[in-house]
Amino acid sequence: MRIPASIRPRRSPAGYSLMELLVSLAIAAVVGGTIATVMQSQIQLSTTQNRNMLNQADLRDCINFMTEEIVTMGSGVVEPYIEVAEPTELRYVGDLNNDDVWERIHYFYDVDSLEVRRTLSQSTDAGANWTTIGTDVLMRNIGVINYTYFANNNQAPVTDDEITAVEIRMTMDVQADQTAFTGGRVGGQAMVGRMTIRNRKMN
């Protein structure tokens, strides 16, 4: 008796060969590696952009703080004057609180720590003696800082008592941000600020 074809047991289809499995695994590895590389690149790009924005914001805040403090010093009852005017430091004497107490702020760059620092001192005897109130770190990871001084009509001053404006330029140290997350692509963010300054040299 013949068994009808409709009820005959069907043979299972042949399985994948070893070669087909190896090819599939190789293709999956290539695709997975490509996806991982693209994702890492996107993460690095996003991290780099965020770091650059944070650096710019920090630079802006630092320069704004220095500008506001110098302007405030120049509005007190003590006639302000520049005591030291160098490319990497500025020392300015005036009155921060309108209380007839002399203050001296000293902005300077520490090349070893790559920090911009500020020292505040006070004098109750018209500058004969100074007492240091404290030293603060205003900005870290600074590769370059430069103060440029101007006299009237943007001329170069011959003496410190001719200074009427100060320009501050700070550039971040690139190496400080060369991490695996940024892929070494963080640029040296720079910021420039300029202010008019009251300055009456006292001899």
Which residues touch 169 (CB under 8 Å, ≥6 apart)? Answer: 144, 145, 146, 148, 190, 191, 192
Q: Compute the distance between CA of residue 107 and CA of residue 197 in angstroms, rounded to an integer.
A: 15
Neighbour tally for 188: CB within 10 Å: 14
Mean pLDDT of 79-88: 93
Cα torsion angle, 99, 125, 118, 193, sign: positive
Question: Is pLDDT larger for residue 199 or for residue 16?
Answer: 199
Which neighbouring-strand residues pair with 147? 168
**Residue 116's closest CA among 90, 136, 139, 147?**
139
Q: Is the pLDDT of residue 203 over 50?
A: no
Could you give the number of structural domains in the chain? 1
Mean pLDDT of 44-60: 77
In tens, the pLDDT along 153-190 reads 999 999 999 999 999 999 888 776 655 555 555 567 88
Would you say the pTM of this structure is higher than 0.85? no
3-class secondary-structure state, position 65: helix
CA distances from 147 to 22, 104, 110, 163 (A): 65, 18, 14, 12
Mean pLDDT of 43-62: 78
Q: Is the pLDDT of residue 49 over 80?
A: no
Determine the structural domain holding residue 36 and report its residue range: 25-196
In a domain, 74, yes or no: yes
The pLDDT, as a whole number, for residue 112 is 92
3-class secondary-structure state, position 128: coil
**Residue 92's closest CA among 159, 34, 30, 161?**
161
By the 8 A CB rule, do 109 and 122 touch?
A: no
Containing 146, the helix (H) or strand (E) segment is strand 142-150
Q: Is the pLDDT of residue 3 over 80?
A: no
In a domain, 52, yes or no: yes
Containing 171, the helix (H) or strand (E) segment is strand 165-172
Q: How confident is the model at residue 12 (pLDDT cuts 50, 70, 90)?
A: low
In a domain, 1, yes or no: no
